[in-house]
Structure 1
Amino acid sequence: MTLTEAVTGSAASAGALDGARYRASLDDGREVWLDGERITDVAGHPAFAPAIAELSRLFDLQHSPELRDTMTVESPETGNRISRAYQLPRTLADLTAKRRNADVWMRETWGQHGRSPAFMATIAVGLYDFRHRLATNRPEFGDNAVAYHRYLSEHDLVLAHALGDPQIDRSASPVDHPDHALRVIEENDTGIVVRGAKQLTTLAPFAHEILVYLSASFAQRGAEEFVVWFGIPVNTAGLKILCREPLGAAPYGHAHPFGSRFDEQDAMLFFDDVLVPWDRVFLLHDGALAREGLVRINAWSQYVGQVRYRERLRTLLAVATLLARSIGVDGFRNVQEDLGELTSFVNILDHFLDAGEATAHRTDGGLIAPGPTPAAAVWAAEVASRAVEIVRRIGSAGILMQPSENDLAAPELRPFLDRYMHGKTLPVDQKSRLFRLAWDLTHDGFGQRQDLYEVVHRGDITRNRINLFHRHDQSEVLGRVEELIGKPLRAQGRGE
């Protein structure tokens, strides 16, 4: 069945997902592996169930009377209600509506879902917007991008993307070691056959579709044959998903309030001679076009990503503020300075978002895109660890040692906990839960993963800084300085 038939035929979708449909859709024969075991019931597995329950709750919000119009919109093609995240923004009002939808997703997840469905859907919007340029590679590839966006939006599918290549020997060219990167091993009448791997595909076991792109750097290394963009269902034959160790597990009753709910999972993908039908291929063997497209198709995801990071910073600031109050250090000058620094991060991100909307423009694909703010990616990577460090500094050793809910419920222990582990403003039970939030955000496996994510997911910061420098137009001020130094500099105050 082609993508067009999947939207218009008997398998036409009912539009925006709800939780029940989402959970049922994961039982599709996908090959998911965890700790040497193939997982046959992804939705019901204890390592995945809390995260899937959280995603299901979010999909249910799309149908709530209070949020229906914020989170969904009527499809102009079918009349279905589809996610605002998949909406093609043709006006500034459409763009700001996408931001309001993202606000809901990111607020409900405390800024912890870096690759939420609301984020990933915007990349499909970018792929659609880039359709005319993809058609210069092959005419049908532009049509494929249009059909793929419509297929995803009308079914409200959860998208994951596969970008990174295996860390084997980054100093070697894939031409010399073909198995070090994903590559096309065959083209036939049906499609292309790919073999290889992609690493760190966030959300893969919880998604419906995998979008493979990036690969632009291969062109610079004389390996254009490794440049390929396509999208496939997660349950495609030959695709194996290897999950990392789950985070947020709760041994001995110690709760992980964020880790248990918001662990998106990161996975290694193995493509064992996977057939990709031609109507799912978007770009082949054109590194220059891939480099151009990498910026273009992420215009909306960067915008929504800033909405998400702002919410994460707001969460860190709120927890840090309550930590300081709970132990009576909120009046200390150094603590107020730290909180002021964290507040400045929130305010700066507000300005980046406003700047993107103030400089919004119509693309050559006909959509309204936020103005580019590449400095935001550099800045966010620079301050991410500092934001976490401020929470650590304020909570200090108290973050490490807090009683569990079972400790609090033990009659023999509770008098000692009430006497020695309460706070200035909070009883022991509320204080322990607050400090456990801080632990989840900053110290445990989930917190460490989130911190690493903030540093790496925007790409290499050195490369981003270099690109920022090269793209910055200095021509006017350079000309003025050159004119200034082209003449003798006269000393002042000598009557000259």
Structure 2
Amino acid sequence: MSEPTTTTGPTGPLGIRTGDAYRASLDDGRELYLDGKRVTDPASHPAFKASVDELARLFDLQHDPAHAPVMTWKDPQSGLTLGRAYQPTRTLEDLRAQRASAELWLSESLGQHGRSPAFMSSIALGLYDFRHRLEANRTGFGANAEAWYRHCATHDLVLTHALGDPQIDRSADPVDDPDLALRVIEENDKGIVVRGAKQLTTLAPTAHEVLVYLSASFTQRSAEQFVVWCALPLNTPGLVTLCREPFGAEPFGHEHPLARRFDEQDAMLFFDDVLVPWDRVFLLRDGALARTGLGRINAWSAYIGHIRYRERLRTLLATATMVAESIGVDGFRNVQEELGKLASYVELTEYFIDAAEARATTTDSGLLAPGDTAAARVWSAEVAASAVAAVRNIGSAGVLMQPTPNDLAHPRLRPHLDRYMRGKNIPADQKSRLFRLAWDLTGDSFGQRQDLYEYVHRGDLARNRINLYLRHDQSETRGRLERLIAGPGAPADTQLQEGAHP
């Protein structure tokens, strides 16, 4: 394969990004706070450095001749080599190429990166696909969406999205208390001015841009000020990012092998009367269109989300298997049942990915979008806790009580550790690292965060179940049952009489 095409434009490098370029790009003057202190360069800060380095490593894989054919594509419009996730999918072959790329990104991160560039780039693609409908909202909005998608693709940007409104008083109406939701307070010749906050913006401290959307629930006329889709660089004046407590620190020598590398950070975004230029506005004051667009622009990300979850389940299954083998319980019937449950989850997720491809449809903009798998997303949230519990059930108290590297290095302790904390055909130090991995995956602050993420990131579970019920077409089966219970003399169901099938 020829060398990737990279040039320099007025706003920086064009084409696929290197790890070093990603690190350097984060020193951009953003207003970022952690524990009451402003962070000027996330790439060098101890709370973020390891996770930034991990993303940088993944960016460098795009330049590796062994991985570049899977992770990149040549854009005929710009002539640049771009990330595969940005490729418009017009055929099943295109869709499967995007799948292969996401599988590489997400297997490299063991399914722990919920906001992987493979995921968020696909939402930019979804916005591009929906551009014609956005143009109908207001002249120029569709062109804005296309221009932003191309800007993100050609600069290989790391993206995040801002969805949830602050948890102040969910029983109140934002119309009565405007601070409850992000809102437009002004339109002028330069753009719109927004005020408010968005919560739990994953990856914001180490991303380049944020896409604001989701305001599909505000459909009444008086609440139109809350319906806004737009995108902004995270160093935009007036945009303040507040981080939660970081995971993966190593007090007392304890290891956190997953948290150290894969903590994506979650943040509150405060919009302190932020000016959004008109060329970064995509939708305004149309709740019905926002509701329609929510599913459309997330068609690809839902597909990628299944791939990511399958990798997480594979990680849970392999960890549980190795833990069981290390303590000699892998032959126990109850343990094999737990492992079989995890294996079934992995295989079912594979079916969902295949189903999204089998149900793929051509959109009104001419792209082939993965088919709807809303029920699979509900199932994923439902089984998430069970998948984590399987690892904990097998490892039991052992996932909690393991020596640290300093313990293992201590001459007084080491003989006891080798004698009493070894496993079946596995030395104490290796067993300790395995069980620390299991703890990091399921029990510590990072593991608990990942478990919560699986439950909430697909949206409100009750609402999603209700939506499935409301849209499910029962008419044919109900008709058969209604004819069956109509009583003596009711018209016979010819198909039932003849044993035919619909």
Q: TM-score range by the shorter chain?
A: over 0.9
Deviates more, 1:221-230 or 1:299-308: 221-230
- Equivalent-residue separation in structure 2 for 1:17 and 1:91 (angstroms): 26
Mapping for residues 279-298 of structure 1, pairs under 5 Å: 279-298=279-298
Q: Does 1:355 align with 2:355?
A: yes
Amino acid of the structure 2 residue aligned with 1:428: A
1:11 offset after TM fit, Å? 3.7
Change (3 A) 1:466 1:220: farther
Mapping for residues 160-309 of structure 1, pairs under 5 Å: 160-219=160-219, 222-309=222-309
Contact 2:181–2:197 under 8 Å retained in 1: yes
- Equivalent-residue separation in structure 1 for 2:256 and 2:8 (angstroms): 44
Residue 458 of structure 2 corresponds to 458
- Equivalent-residue separation in structure 1 for 2:55 and 2:403 (angstroms): 29
- Equivalent-residue separation in structure 2 for 1:488 and 1:307 (angstroms): 53
- Equivalent-residue separation in structure 2 for 1:36 and 1:13 (angstroms): 33
- Equivalent-residue separation in structure 1 for 2:489 and 2:316 (angstroms): 52
**Deviation >3 Å, runs of 4+:** 7-13
Contact 1:73–1:82 under 8 Å retained in 2: yes
Mapping for residues 307-318 of structure 1, pairs under 5 Å: 307-318=307-318
- Equivalent-residue separation in structure 2 for 1:332 and 1:9 (angstroms): 61
Contact 2:185–2:225 under 8 Å retained in 1: no
Amino acid of the structure 2 residue aligned with 1:215: S
1:288 offset after TM fit, Å? 0.4
Q: TM-score, normalised by structure 1?
A: 0.96
Residue 346 of structure 1 corresponds to 346
1:488 offset after TM fit, Å? 2.2
Change (3 A) 1:46 1:489: farther
**SS across alignment from 2:88:** coil
Amino acid of the structure 2 residue aligned with 1:417: L
1:361 offset after TM fit, Å? 1.3
Residue 108 of structure 2 corresponds to 108
Mapping for residues 66-215 of structure 1, pairs under 5 Å: 66-215=66-215
**SS across alignment from 2:43:** coil
Contact 1:123–1:301 under 8 Å retained in 2: yes
1:14 offset after TM fit, Å? 2.4
- Equivalent-residue separation in structure 2 for 1:435 and 1:389 (angstroms): 15
Contact 1:173–1:221 under 8 Å retained in 2: no
- Equivalent-residue separation in structure 2 for 1:210 and 1:283 (angstroms): 15
- Equivalent-residue separation in structure 1 for 2:209 and 2:440 (angstroms): 30
Amino acid of the structure 2 residue aligned with 1:191: G
Residue 21 of structure 1 corresponds to 21
Deviates more, 1:419-428 or 1:445-454: 419-428
Change (3 A) 1:221 1:48: farther
Q: Does 1:405 align with 2:408?
A: no
**SS across alignment from 1:73:** strand
Contact 2:321–2:330 under 8 Å retained in 1: yes
Q: Deviations over 1:198-245 (max 9, x none)?
A: 000000011110100001112259512111000000100000000000
Amino acid of the structure 1 residue aligned with 2:240: K
- Equivalent-residue separation in structure 1 for 2:426 and 2:281 (angstroms): 57
Contact 1:161–1:212 under 8 Å retained in 2: yes
- Equivalent-residue separation in structure 2 for 1:403 and 1:281 (angstroms): 53
1:9 offset after TM fit, Å? 5.9
- Equivalent-residue separation in structure 2 for 1:10 and 1:399 (angstroms): 52
Amino acid of the structure 1 residue aligned with 2:464: N
**SS across alignment from 2:29:** coil
Residue 473 of structure 1 corresponds to 473
Residue 443 of structure 2 corresponds to 443
Q: TM-score, normalised by structure 2?
A: 0.95
Q: Deviations over 1:344-382 (max 9, x none)?
A: 100110110111111111111211111111111110010
Residue 3 of structure 1 corresponds to none
1:323 offset after TM fit, Å? 0.7
**SS across alignment from 2:201:** strand
Residue 48 of structure 1 corresponds to 48
1:412 offset after TM fit, Å? 1.9
Structure 2 portions without partners, runs of 5+: 1-6, 491-502
Q: Deviations over 1:8-35 (max 9, x none)?
A: 9644642011101000100110110000
Residue 333 of structure 2 corresponds to 333
Q: Percent identity?
A: 69
Contact 1:258–1:440 under 8 Å retained in 2: yes
- Equivalent-residue separation in structure 2 for 1:489 and 1:253 (angstroms): 80
Amino acid of the structure 2 residue aligned with 1:254: H
- Equivalent-residue separation in structure 1 for 2:26 and 2:70 (angstroms): 26
- Equivalent-residue separation in structure 2 for 1:268 and 1:324 (angstroms): 40
Structure 1 portions without partners, runs of 5+: 1-6, 491-496
1:40 offset after TM fit, Å? 1.1
Change (3 A) 1:29 1:328: same
**SS across alignment from 2:14:** coil
- Equivalent-residue separation in structure 1 for 2:190 and 2:41 (angstroms): 31
Residue 494 of structure 1 corresponds to none
Contact 1:85–1:121 under 8 Å retained in 2: yes
Q: Deviations over 1:267-305 (max 9, x none)?
A: 000001100000100000100000001111000000000
Instruction: Give aligned pairs, total.
Output: 484
1:390 offset after TM fit, Å? 0.6
**SS across alignment from 2:82:** strand
Contact 2:166–2:199 under 8 Å retained in 1: yes
Contact 1:126–1:296 under 8 Å retained in 2: yes
